[in-house]
Structure 1
Amino acid sequence: MSIQAAPVLPGGKSVRYLDFGVGPQTLVFIHGYGASSIPYFAEFCAQPSLHPVRKILIDLPGFGLSDRPESYGYGFEDFAQCVAEVLEHAGVEQFDLLGHSMGGAVAILLAARLAGRLRKLILVEPNLDATGSEVVRCAREGLTGSEGVQRRRELEALAGEFWSSTLRLASAEALQGAAASFATPRNPKLTDLLNGITAPRLVLLGEESEFDRLPLQRLQADVRIIDVARAGHNVMLDNPGEFADRTLSFLSYVP
Protein backbone atom coordinates (compact mmCIF):
# COMPACT_ATOMS: atom_id res chain seq x y z
CA MET A 1 0.00 0.00 0.00
CA SER A 2 1.53 3.33 -0.98
CA ILE A 3 0.72 6.94 -1.80
CA GLN A 4 1.80 7.72 -5.36
CA ALA A 5 2.42 11.12 -6.94
CA ALA A 6 1.50 11.67 -10.59
CA PRO A 7 3.18 14.87 -11.90
CA VAL A 8 0.32 15.77 -14.26
CA LEU A 9 -0.40 19.34 -13.10
CA PRO A 10 1.08 22.67 -14.24
CA GLY A 11 4.60 23.38 -13.02
CA GLY A 12 5.32 19.70 -12.43
CA LYS A 13 2.96 19.56 -9.47
CA SER A 14 1.32 16.27 -8.55
CA VAL A 15 -1.98 14.53 -8.01
CA ARG A 16 -1.64 11.99 -5.23
CA TYR A 17 -3.44 8.69 -5.07
CA LEU A 18 -3.49 5.63 -2.86
CA ASP A 19 -2.75 2.50 -4.87
CA PHE A 20 -3.11 -0.88 -3.19
CA GLY A 21 -4.23 -4.42 -3.85
CA VAL A 22 -3.17 -6.68 -6.70
CA GLY A 23 -5.49 -8.50 -9.06
CA PRO A 24 -6.97 -8.62 -12.54
CA GLN A 25 -9.61 -5.96 -11.73
CA THR A 26 -9.04 -2.29 -10.88
CA LEU A 27 -11.53 -0.07 -9.04
CA VAL A 28 -10.99 3.70 -9.23
CA PHE A 29 -12.53 6.15 -6.73
CA ILE A 30 -13.29 9.87 -7.24
CA HIS A 31 -14.39 11.91 -4.22
CA GLY A 32 -16.86 14.76 -3.96
CA TYR A 33 -16.62 18.50 -3.43
CA GLY A 34 -14.38 19.51 -0.55
CA ALA A 35 -13.61 15.87 0.19
CA SER A 36 -10.75 13.38 -0.08
CA SER A 37 -10.95 9.79 -1.26
CA ILE A 38 -9.22 7.96 1.59
CA PRO A 39 -11.47 9.00 4.52
CA TYR A 40 -14.64 8.56 2.47
CA PHE A 41 -13.86 5.13 1.01
CA ALA A 42 -11.44 3.50 3.48
CA GLU A 43 -14.11 1.44 5.25
CA PHE A 44 -15.51 0.11 1.99
CA CYS A 45 -12.04 -0.79 0.71
CA ALA A 46 -11.53 -2.99 3.78
CA GLN A 47 -14.19 -5.43 2.51
CA PRO A 48 -12.61 -8.92 2.30
CA SER A 49 -13.94 -9.46 -1.23
CA LEU A 50 -11.97 -6.40 -2.38
CA HIS A 51 -8.61 -7.70 -1.12
CA PRO A 52 -7.69 -9.22 -4.52
CA VAL A 53 -8.81 -6.06 -6.37
CA ARG A 54 -6.46 -3.20 -7.19
CA LYS A 55 -7.89 -0.04 -5.64
CA ILE A 56 -6.91 3.49 -6.69
CA LEU A 57 -8.19 6.33 -4.49
CA ILE A 58 -7.52 9.67 -6.18
CA ASP A 59 -7.46 13.12 -4.59
CA LEU A 60 -8.41 15.69 -7.22
CA PRO A 61 -6.19 18.76 -7.77
CA GLY A 62 -6.54 21.25 -4.95
CA PHE A 63 -8.16 18.70 -2.61
CA GLY A 64 -6.91 16.28 0.02
CA LEU A 65 -3.26 15.29 -0.43
CA SER A 66 -2.88 16.63 -3.96
CA ASP A 67 -1.01 19.80 -4.92
CA ARG A 68 -2.77 23.13 -5.42
CA PRO A 69 -1.44 24.94 -8.49
CA GLU A 70 -2.74 28.48 -8.86
CA SER A 71 -2.71 28.33 -12.67
CA TYR A 72 -5.32 25.59 -13.06
CA GLY A 73 -8.96 25.61 -14.08
CA TYR A 74 -10.47 23.36 -11.36
CA GLY A 75 -13.55 22.64 -13.48
CA PHE A 76 -15.18 19.25 -13.90
CA GLU A 77 -13.66 18.82 -17.37
CA ASP A 78 -10.21 19.68 -15.97
CA PHE A 79 -10.66 17.05 -13.27
CA ALA A 80 -11.76 14.39 -15.78
CA GLN A 81 -8.70 15.04 -17.96
CA CYS A 82 -6.50 14.93 -14.87
CA VAL A 83 -7.88 11.57 -13.72
CA ALA A 84 -7.33 10.17 -17.21
CA GLU A 85 -3.67 11.22 -16.95
CA VAL A 86 -3.38 9.71 -13.48
CA LEU A 87 -4.66 6.39 -14.83
CA GLU A 88 -2.00 6.54 -17.54
CA HIS A 89 0.62 7.21 -14.87
CA ALA A 90 -0.65 4.22 -12.89
CA GLY A 91 -0.65 1.98 -15.96
CA VAL A 92 -4.37 1.24 -15.73
CA GLU A 93 -6.09 -0.24 -18.77
CA GLN A 94 -9.57 -1.64 -18.04
CA PHE A 95 -11.19 -0.39 -14.84
CA ASP A 96 -14.37 0.05 -12.83
CA LEU A 97 -15.18 3.59 -11.70
CA LEU A 98 -16.95 4.89 -8.60
CA GLY A 99 -17.70 8.60 -8.18
CA HIS A 100 -19.44 10.33 -5.29
CA SER A 101 -21.34 13.65 -5.55
CA MET A 102 -19.18 16.04 -7.62
CA GLY A 103 -16.99 13.02 -8.30
CA GLY A 104 -20.00 11.44 -9.98
CA ALA A 105 -20.12 14.28 -12.51
CA VAL A 106 -16.38 13.94 -13.09
CA ALA A 107 -16.80 10.17 -13.44
CA ILE A 108 -19.42 10.61 -16.18
CA LEU A 109 -17.12 12.92 -18.14
CA LEU A 110 -14.22 10.51 -17.72
CA ALA A 111 -16.34 7.50 -18.66
CA ALA A 112 -17.44 9.23 -21.86
CA ARG A 113 -13.77 9.83 -22.75
CA LEU A 114 -12.52 6.35 -21.90
CA ALA A 115 -15.61 4.35 -22.78
CA GLY A 116 -13.65 1.51 -24.36
CA ARG A 117 -11.70 0.90 -21.15
CA LEU A 118 -14.57 1.18 -18.67
CA ARG A 119 -16.06 -2.06 -17.33
CA LYS A 120 -18.72 -0.75 -14.90
CA LEU A 121 -19.74 2.68 -13.55
CA ILE A 122 -21.13 3.44 -10.08
CA LEU A 123 -22.42 6.92 -9.24
CA VAL A 124 -23.25 7.76 -5.63
CA GLU A 125 -25.53 10.80 -5.26
CA PRO A 126 -24.04 12.28 -8.45
CA ASN A 127 -24.44 15.93 -9.42
CA LEU A 128 -26.28 15.67 -12.73
CA ASP A 129 -27.39 19.28 -13.22
CA ALA A 130 -26.12 22.78 -12.49
CA THR A 131 -26.91 22.52 -8.82
CA GLY A 132 -24.99 22.21 -5.59
CA SER A 133 -25.26 22.43 -1.84
CA GLU A 134 -25.39 25.62 0.20
CA VAL A 135 -21.64 25.16 0.73
CA VAL A 136 -21.09 25.23 -3.04
CA ARG A 137 -23.27 28.32 -3.46
CA CYS A 138 -21.36 30.08 -0.69
CA ALA A 139 -18.01 29.23 -2.30
CA ARG A 140 -19.25 30.57 -5.62
CA GLU A 141 -19.42 34.03 -4.02
CA GLY A 142 -15.63 34.02 -3.68
CA LEU A 143 -13.01 32.80 -1.22
CA THR A 144 -10.19 35.20 -1.97
CA GLY A 145 -9.70 38.82 -1.04
CA SER A 146 -10.67 40.61 2.14
CA GLU A 147 -13.87 38.58 2.69
CA GLY A 148 -12.37 35.21 1.81
CA VAL A 149 -11.27 34.22 5.33
CA GLN A 150 -14.69 34.90 6.81
CA ARG A 151 -16.42 33.03 4.01
CA ARG A 152 -14.19 30.00 4.58
CA ARG A 153 -15.41 29.98 8.18
CA GLU A 154 -18.98 30.09 6.91
CA LEU A 155 -18.28 27.13 4.62
CA GLU A 156 -16.92 25.02 7.45
CA ALA A 157 -19.88 25.88 9.68
CA LEU A 158 -22.30 24.89 6.92
CA ALA A 159 -20.42 21.66 6.22
CA GLY A 160 -20.57 20.27 9.74
CA GLU A 161 -17.97 18.31 11.68
CA PHE A 162 -16.98 15.50 9.29
CA TRP A 163 -17.16 17.31 5.95
CA SER A 164 -15.35 20.37 7.31
CA SER A 165 -12.40 18.16 8.31
CA THR A 166 -11.59 17.59 4.62
CA LEU A 167 -13.08 20.84 3.34
CA ARG A 168 -10.48 22.86 5.22
CA LEU A 169 -7.72 21.02 3.32
CA ALA A 170 -8.96 22.31 -0.03
CA SER A 171 -7.46 25.39 -1.64
CA ALA A 172 -9.57 28.49 -2.24
CA GLU A 173 -8.90 28.18 -5.97
CA ALA A 174 -10.15 24.59 -6.06
CA LEU A 175 -13.29 25.37 -4.08
CA GLN A 176 -14.10 28.43 -6.19
CA GLY A 177 -13.29 26.82 -9.53
CA ALA A 178 -15.30 23.68 -8.81
CA ALA A 179 -18.20 25.75 -7.46
CA ALA A 180 -18.29 27.70 -10.72
CA SER A 181 -18.27 24.44 -12.68
CA PHE A 182 -21.43 23.29 -10.89
CA ALA A 183 -23.25 26.19 -12.53
CA THR A 184 -21.76 25.70 -16.01
CA PRO A 185 -24.38 24.62 -18.59
CA ARG A 186 -23.19 21.59 -20.56
CA ASN A 187 -24.07 20.46 -24.04
CA PRO A 188 -24.52 17.55 -24.10
CA LYS A 189 -25.93 17.34 -20.60
CA LEU A 190 -24.37 14.95 -18.10
CA THR A 191 -27.53 12.85 -18.25
CA ASP A 192 -27.16 12.59 -22.04
CA LEU A 193 -23.54 11.49 -21.65
CA LEU A 194 -24.58 8.94 -19.03
CA ASN A 195 -27.26 7.56 -21.35
CA GLY A 196 -24.63 7.16 -24.07
CA ILE A 197 -22.26 5.05 -21.94
CA THR A 198 -22.66 1.40 -22.87
CA ALA A 199 -21.02 -0.07 -19.75
CA PRO A 200 -23.39 -1.19 -16.96
CA ARG A 201 -24.34 1.80 -14.79
CA LEU A 202 -25.59 1.97 -11.22
CA VAL A 203 -26.82 5.06 -9.35
CA LEU A 204 -26.98 4.80 -5.54
CA LEU A 205 -29.03 7.37 -3.63
CA GLY A 206 -29.47 7.97 0.08
CA GLU A 207 -33.10 7.38 0.98
CA GLU A 208 -32.96 10.31 3.43
CA SER A 209 -30.93 12.73 1.29
CA GLU A 210 -32.15 15.92 -0.36
CA PHE A 211 -30.91 14.75 -3.76
CA ASP A 212 -32.56 16.45 -6.75
CA ARG A 213 -34.26 13.50 -8.47
CA LEU A 214 -35.67 15.46 -11.40
CA PRO A 215 -32.69 14.77 -13.72
CA LEU A 216 -33.15 11.03 -13.12
CA GLN A 217 -36.29 11.21 -15.25
CA ARG A 218 -34.06 11.78 -18.29
CA LEU A 219 -32.10 8.56 -17.75
CA GLN A 220 -32.70 5.46 -19.82
CA ALA A 221 -34.39 2.47 -18.23
CA ASP A 222 -31.18 0.43 -18.27
CA VAL A 223 -29.49 2.81 -15.82
CA ARG A 224 -30.12 1.04 -12.53
CA ILE A 225 -31.19 3.31 -9.63
CA ILE A 226 -31.26 2.04 -6.04
CA ASP A 227 -32.17 3.82 -2.80
CA VAL A 228 -30.06 2.92 0.23
CA ALA A 229 -32.01 2.93 3.49
CA ARG A 230 -30.99 5.03 6.49
CA ALA A 231 -28.56 7.09 4.41
CA GLY A 232 -28.17 10.71 3.45
CA HIS A 233 -25.78 12.22 0.93
CA ASN A 234 -22.73 10.31 2.21
CA VAL A 235 -24.22 6.90 1.53
CA MET A 236 -20.97 4.99 2.11
CA LEU A 237 -20.61 6.52 5.58
CA ASP A 238 -24.25 6.56 6.67
CA ASN A 239 -25.03 2.93 5.85
CA PRO A 240 -21.73 1.23 5.01
CA GLY A 241 -23.20 -2.27 5.16
CA GLU A 242 -25.91 -1.82 2.57
CA PHE A 243 -23.65 0.40 0.46
CA ALA A 244 -21.06 -2.39 0.33
CA ASP A 245 -23.68 -5.05 -0.42
CA ARG A 246 -25.21 -3.09 -3.30
CA THR A 247 -21.87 -2.05 -4.76
CA LEU A 248 -20.19 -5.45 -4.56
CA SER A 249 -23.25 -7.20 -5.97
CA PHE A 250 -23.13 -4.87 -8.98
CA LEU A 251 -19.38 -5.21 -9.48
CA SER A 252 -19.61 -9.01 -9.19
CA TYR A 253 -15.92 -9.59 -8.68
CA VAL A 254 -14.85 -13.22 -8.95
CA PRO A 255 -12.01 -14.25 -6.57
Structure 2
Amino acid sequence: MREYQLRNKNYKIRYNDFPGEGIPIIFIHGLGCAGSFDYVEIANRKEFLGHRRILIDLLGAGYSDKPLDFEYKVKNHAKCLSEFLEDLNLNKVILFGHSLGGAISIELCGLCEEKIDRLILTEPNLDPATKGRTSWAVAQYTEENYKSRISSLIEYCASGKNTMWAATLRNWLPEAAYQISRDAIEVREVPWRDMFYSYKIPRFFIFGSKTLPSDDLEELPKNNIEVKIVENAGHSMAWENPEGLAQVIYECLK
Protein backbone atom coordinates (compact mmCIF):
# COMPACT_ATOMS: atom_id res chain seq x y z
CA MET A 1 0.00 0.00 0.00
CA ARG A 2 1.15 3.53 -0.78
CA GLU A 3 0.17 6.93 0.52
CA TYR A 4 -0.41 10.37 -0.93
CA GLN A 5 -0.38 13.54 1.14
CA LEU A 6 -3.04 16.08 0.23
CA ARG A 7 -1.85 19.50 -0.83
CA ASN A 8 -1.53 21.98 2.04
CA LYS A 9 -2.73 19.33 4.51
CA ASN A 10 -1.18 16.64 6.66
CA TYR A 11 -3.90 14.18 5.61
CA LYS A 12 -2.92 11.10 3.64
CA ILE A 13 -4.92 9.04 1.19
CA ARG A 14 -3.74 5.43 0.96
CA TYR A 15 -4.03 3.27 -2.10
CA ASN A 16 -2.94 0.03 -3.76
CA ASP A 17 -0.90 0.53 -6.93
CA PHE A 18 -0.43 -2.54 -9.13
CA PRO A 19 1.96 -2.12 -12.08
CA GLY A 20 1.08 -2.37 -15.74
CA GLU A 21 1.95 -0.63 -19.00
CA GLY A 22 -1.62 0.04 -20.16
CA ILE A 23 -3.82 3.01 -19.30
CA PRO A 24 -4.24 3.10 -15.50
CA ILE A 25 -7.62 2.09 -14.10
CA ILE A 26 -8.65 4.11 -11.03
CA PHE A 27 -11.12 2.33 -8.73
CA ILE A 28 -13.30 4.56 -6.50
CA HIS A 29 -15.44 2.80 -3.91
CA GLY A 30 -18.84 3.65 -2.47
CA LEU A 31 -20.36 4.44 0.92
CA GLY A 32 -19.12 2.22 3.74
CA CYS A 33 -16.63 0.46 1.46
CA ALA A 34 -12.92 0.63 0.62
CA GLY A 35 -10.90 0.14 -2.53
CA SER A 36 -8.43 -2.02 -0.60
CA PHE A 37 -11.30 -4.31 0.43
CA ASP A 38 -13.58 -4.32 -2.61
CA TYR A 39 -11.35 -4.46 -5.68
CA VAL A 40 -8.09 -6.31 -5.01
CA GLU A 41 -9.49 -9.59 -6.35
CA ILE A 42 -10.96 -7.94 -9.43
CA ALA A 43 -7.92 -5.79 -10.19
CA ASN A 44 -5.62 -8.81 -10.14
CA ARG A 45 -7.60 -10.93 -12.56
CA LYS A 46 -5.75 -11.78 -15.76
CA GLU A 47 -8.00 -9.48 -17.84
CA PHE A 48 -6.45 -6.40 -16.22
CA LEU A 49 -2.81 -7.35 -15.73
CA GLY A 50 -1.77 -5.22 -18.70
CA HIS A 51 -3.11 -2.09 -16.99
CA ARG A 52 -1.75 -0.19 -14.05
CA ARG A 53 -4.47 -0.48 -11.39
CA ILE A 54 -4.94 2.02 -8.56
CA LEU A 55 -7.38 1.18 -5.77
CA ILE A 56 -8.13 4.19 -3.60
CA ASP A 57 -9.39 4.34 -0.03
CA LEU A 58 -11.18 7.67 0.16
CA LEU A 59 -10.35 10.08 2.96
CA GLY A 60 -12.34 8.99 6.02
CA ALA A 61 -12.51 5.36 4.86
CA GLY A 62 -10.45 2.18 4.89
CA TYR A 63 -6.76 2.78 5.58
CA SER A 64 -6.80 6.48 4.67
CA ASP A 65 -6.65 9.24 7.26
CA LYS A 66 -9.86 10.28 8.97
CA PRO A 67 -9.61 13.98 9.81
CA LEU A 68 -12.49 15.56 11.70
CA ASP A 69 -12.04 18.96 10.05
CA PHE A 70 -12.51 17.76 6.44
CA GLU A 71 -15.90 18.45 4.87
CA TYR A 72 -16.93 15.06 3.50
CA LYS A 73 -18.80 16.08 0.37
CA VAL A 74 -18.69 14.52 -3.07
CA LYS A 75 -17.12 17.58 -4.70
CA ASN A 76 -14.40 17.74 -2.03
CA HIS A 77 -13.44 14.11 -2.55
CA ALA A 78 -13.34 14.80 -6.30
CA LYS A 79 -11.06 17.80 -5.80
CA CYS A 80 -8.64 15.71 -3.72
CA LEU A 81 -8.58 13.05 -6.41
CA SER A 82 -8.01 15.57 -9.20
CA GLU A 83 -4.91 16.75 -7.33
CA PHE A 84 -3.92 13.10 -6.81
CA LEU A 85 -4.05 12.49 -10.57
CA GLU A 86 -2.05 15.63 -11.27
CA ASP A 87 0.62 15.00 -8.64
CA LEU A 88 1.11 11.38 -9.75
CA ASN A 89 1.37 12.53 -13.39
CA LEU A 90 -1.62 10.41 -14.37
CA ASN A 91 -2.49 12.20 -17.59
CA LYS A 92 -4.82 9.57 -19.05
CA VAL A 93 -6.85 7.18 -16.91
CA ILE A 94 -9.87 4.91 -17.01
CA LEU A 95 -12.21 5.87 -14.19
CA PHE A 96 -14.30 3.23 -12.40
CA GLY A 97 -16.71 4.29 -9.66
CA HIS A 98 -19.30 2.43 -7.60
CA SER A 99 -22.47 3.94 -6.09
CA LEU A 100 -21.49 7.20 -4.34
CA GLY A 101 -18.02 6.58 -5.73
CA GLY A 102 -19.75 6.89 -9.08
CA ALA A 103 -20.95 10.36 -8.14
CA ILE A 104 -17.40 11.25 -7.10
CA SER A 105 -16.18 9.92 -10.46
CA ILE A 106 -18.71 12.10 -12.29
CA GLU A 107 -17.57 15.19 -10.38
CA LEU A 108 -13.92 14.25 -10.93
CA CYS A 109 -14.50 13.91 -14.66
CA GLY A 110 -15.93 17.42 -14.64
CA LEU A 111 -12.66 18.72 -13.21
CA CYS A 112 -10.38 16.96 -15.70
CA GLU A 113 -12.34 15.38 -18.54
CA GLU A 114 -9.28 15.65 -20.78
CA LYS A 115 -7.56 13.07 -18.55
CA ILE A 116 -10.39 10.54 -18.57
CA ASP A 117 -10.26 7.90 -21.30
CA ARG A 118 -13.62 6.41 -20.33
CA LEU A 119 -16.01 6.42 -17.40
CA ILE A 120 -17.28 3.07 -16.06
CA LEU A 121 -19.87 3.26 -13.28
CA THR A 122 -21.68 0.58 -11.29
CA GLU A 123 -25.11 1.78 -10.15
CA PRO A 124 -23.92 5.32 -9.38
CA ASN A 125 -25.94 8.04 -7.71
CA LEU A 126 -27.25 10.13 -10.61
CA ASP A 127 -30.17 11.73 -8.76
CA PRO A 128 -30.72 12.85 -5.15
CA ALA A 129 -30.87 9.73 -2.98
CA THR A 130 -34.38 8.65 -2.05
CA LYS A 131 -35.93 6.00 0.19
CA GLY A 132 -34.35 2.64 -0.47
CA ARG A 133 -30.82 4.01 -0.78
CA THR A 134 -28.49 3.49 2.17
CA SER A 135 -27.35 7.11 1.97
CA TRP A 136 -30.98 8.25 2.30
CA ALA A 137 -31.44 6.09 5.41
CA VAL A 138 -28.26 7.43 7.03
CA ALA A 139 -29.24 11.02 6.21
CA GLN A 140 -32.48 10.68 8.18
CA TYR A 141 -30.51 10.85 11.42
CA THR A 142 -28.89 13.90 12.92
CA GLU A 143 -25.11 13.62 12.88
CA GLU A 144 -24.89 13.15 16.63
CA ASN A 145 -27.65 10.55 16.63
CA TYR A 146 -25.97 8.63 13.81
CA LYS A 147 -22.63 8.66 15.63
CA SER A 148 -24.30 7.26 18.74
CA ARG A 149 -26.01 4.48 16.78
CA ILE A 150 -23.31 3.46 14.31
CA SER A 151 -22.01 0.64 16.51
CA SER A 152 -25.44 -0.95 16.80
CA LEU A 153 -25.95 -0.54 13.03
CA ILE A 154 -22.68 -2.34 12.34
CA GLU A 155 -23.58 -5.15 14.72
CA TYR A 156 -27.00 -5.47 13.08
CA CYS A 157 -25.37 -5.81 9.66
CA ALA A 158 -22.78 -8.24 11.00
CA SER A 159 -25.46 -10.52 12.44
CA GLY A 160 -27.40 -10.74 9.18
CA LYS A 161 -26.71 -10.95 5.47
CA ASN A 162 -24.64 -7.77 5.23
CA THR A 163 -21.47 -9.00 6.91
CA MET A 164 -19.13 -7.69 4.21
CA TRP A 165 -20.48 -4.16 4.50
CA ALA A 166 -20.28 -4.37 8.29
CA ALA A 167 -16.60 -5.29 8.00
CA THR A 168 -15.75 -2.23 5.90
CA LEU A 169 -18.11 0.21 7.61
CA ARG A 170 -16.19 -0.43 10.85
CA ASN A 171 -13.25 1.35 9.21
CA TRP A 172 -15.16 4.49 8.30
CA LEU A 173 -15.14 7.68 10.32
CA PRO A 174 -18.82 8.05 11.32
CA GLU A 175 -18.76 11.74 10.40
CA ALA A 176 -17.50 10.85 6.93
CA ALA A 177 -20.33 8.39 6.31
CA TYR A 178 -22.95 10.79 7.63
CA GLN A 179 -21.78 13.90 5.80
CA ILE A 180 -21.48 12.27 2.38
CA SER A 181 -24.90 10.67 2.89
CA ARG A 182 -26.40 14.08 3.63
CA ASP A 183 -24.69 15.40 0.52
CA ALA A 184 -26.22 12.58 -1.54
CA ILE A 185 -29.81 13.67 -0.83
CA GLU A 186 -29.27 17.31 -1.80
CA VAL A 187 -30.77 18.77 -4.97
CA ARG A 188 -27.98 20.18 -7.12
CA GLU A 189 -27.93 23.13 -9.48
CA VAL A 190 -26.32 20.82 -12.05
CA PRO A 191 -27.39 17.24 -11.24
CA TRP A 192 -24.92 14.40 -11.53
CA ARG A 193 -27.19 12.87 -14.17
CA ASP A 194 -26.87 15.96 -16.36
CA MET A 195 -23.11 16.00 -15.90
CA PHE A 196 -22.88 12.32 -16.83
CA TYR A 197 -24.98 12.90 -19.94
CA SER A 198 -22.87 15.87 -21.03
CA TYR A 199 -19.48 14.17 -21.25
CA LYS A 200 -18.11 13.27 -24.69
CA ILE A 201 -15.97 10.32 -23.62
CA PRO A 202 -17.17 6.69 -23.70
CA ARG A 203 -19.49 6.11 -20.74
CA PHE A 204 -20.80 2.87 -19.27
CA PHE A 205 -23.48 2.16 -16.67
CA ILE A 206 -23.41 -1.30 -15.09
CA PHE A 207 -26.42 -2.81 -13.31
CA GLY A 208 -26.57 -5.86 -11.10
CA SER A 209 -29.34 -8.06 -12.50
CA LYS A 210 -31.06 -8.28 -9.10
CA THR A 211 -31.46 -4.48 -9.07
CA LEU A 212 -33.64 -4.52 -12.20
CA PRO A 213 -36.11 -3.44 -13.48
CA SER A 214 -35.11 0.20 -13.92
CA ASP A 215 -36.33 3.00 -16.16
CA ASP A 216 -32.68 3.79 -16.84
CA LEU A 217 -32.36 0.67 -18.99
CA GLU A 218 -34.13 2.69 -21.69
CA GLU A 219 -33.18 6.22 -20.62
CA LEU A 220 -29.40 5.90 -20.52
CA PRO A 221 -28.88 4.63 -24.09
CA LYS A 222 -30.84 7.65 -25.34
CA ASN A 223 -27.91 9.70 -24.03
CA ASN A 224 -25.23 7.56 -25.68
CA ILE A 225 -24.42 5.64 -22.50
CA GLU A 226 -23.79 1.94 -22.93
CA VAL A 227 -25.65 -0.21 -20.41
CA LYS A 228 -24.28 -3.55 -19.20
CA ILE A 229 -25.55 -6.08 -16.67
CA VAL A 230 -23.74 -8.30 -14.16
CA GLU A 231 -25.79 -11.44 -13.72
CA ASN A 232 -26.47 -13.01 -10.32
CA ALA A 233 -25.64 -9.81 -8.44
CA GLY A 234 -27.36 -6.86 -6.85
CA HIS A 235 -25.91 -3.50 -5.86
CA SER A 236 -22.81 -4.97 -4.17
CA MET A 237 -21.67 -6.76 -7.31
CA ALA A 238 -17.96 -6.69 -6.44
CA TRP A 239 -18.76 -8.97 -3.50
CA GLU A 240 -21.67 -10.91 -4.97
CA ASN A 241 -20.15 -11.82 -8.33
CA PRO A 242 -16.58 -10.54 -8.73
CA GLU A 243 -15.92 -12.77 -11.74
CA GLY A 244 -19.01 -11.46 -13.51
CA LEU A 245 -18.16 -7.84 -12.71
CA ALA A 246 -14.58 -8.30 -13.92
CA GLN A 247 -15.82 -9.69 -17.22
CA VAL A 248 -18.22 -6.78 -17.75
CA ILE A 249 -15.55 -4.20 -16.91
CA TYR A 250 -13.24 -5.94 -19.38
CA GLU A 251 -15.93 -5.62 -22.06
CA CYS A 252 -16.02 -1.87 -21.37
CA LEU A 253 -12.30 -1.63 -22.11
CA LYS A 254 -12.49 -3.09 -25.61
8 Å CA contact 2:97–2:121 kept in 1: the answer is: yes
> 1:12-46 deviations in whole A, cap 9, x for unaligned?
11111111113131100100001001221111112
- Number of the residue aligned with 2:142: 142
Match of 1:226 among 228, 234, 239: 228
Aligned CA RMSD, in angstroms, stands at: 2.2
User: CA 1:131–1:67 in structure 2 vs 1: closer, same or farther (change >3 Å)?
Assistant: same
Equivalent position amino acid for 1:250 in 2? C
More displaced 10-residue stretch of structure 1: 213-222 or 15-24: 213-222
> 1:230-252 deviations in whole A, cap 9, x for unaligned?
11001222222222222112112
Flag structure 1 segments of 5+ consecutive residues without an equivalent.
none
Q: Give the Cα separation in 1 of the matches to 2:107 and 2:47.
A: 28
Q: Give the Cα separation in 1 of the matches to 2:51 and 2:142.
A: 41
Equivalent position amino acid for 1:20 in 2? F
The Cα of 1:91 is off from its aligned counterpart by 2.0
User: CA 1:170–1:240 in structure 2 vs 1: closer, same or farther (change >3 Å)?
Assistant: same
Flag structure 2 segments of 5+ consecutive residues without an equivalent.
none
1:129 aligned onto 2:95: no
8 Å CA contact 1:41–1:236 kept in 2: the answer is: yes
SS, match of residue 12 in structure 1 = coil
User: CA 1:177–1:212 in structure 2 vs 1: closer, same or farther (change >3 Å)?
Assistant: farther
Q: Give the Cα separation in 2 of the matches to 1:138 and 1:152.
A: 16
User: CA 1:64–1:210 in structure 2 vs 1: closer, same or farther (change >3 Å)?
Assistant: farther
- Number of the residue aligned with 2:89: 91
Match of 1:120 among 106, 118, 126: 118
The Cα of 1:143 is off from its aligned counterpart by 4.4
- Number of the residue aligned with 2:184: 182
More displaced 10-residue stretch of structure 1: 57-66 or 84-93: 84-93
- Number of the residue aligned with 1:38: 36
- Number of the residue aligned with 1:24: 22
More displaced 10-residue stretch of structure 1: 125-134 or 67-76: 125-134
SS, match of residue 107 in structure 2 = helix
- Number of the residue aligned with 2:152: 153
Q: Give the Cα separation in 2 of the matches to 1:197 and 1:221.
A: 10
Question: What is the TM-score with the length of structure 1 in the denominator?
Answer: 0.89
Match of 2:248 among 243, 246, 249: 246
Identical-pair percentage? 26
Q: Give the Cα separation in 1 of the matches to 2:72 and 2:128.
A: 16
- Number of the residue aligned with 2:13: 15
Q: Give the Cα separation in 2 of the matches to 1:26 and 1:151.
A: 35
8 Å CA contact 2:40–2:55 kept in 1: the answer is: no
Question: What is the TM-score with the length of structure 2 in the denominator?
Answer: 0.89
Equivalent position amino acid for 1:187 in 2? E
Runs (4+) off by over 4 Å: 210-216
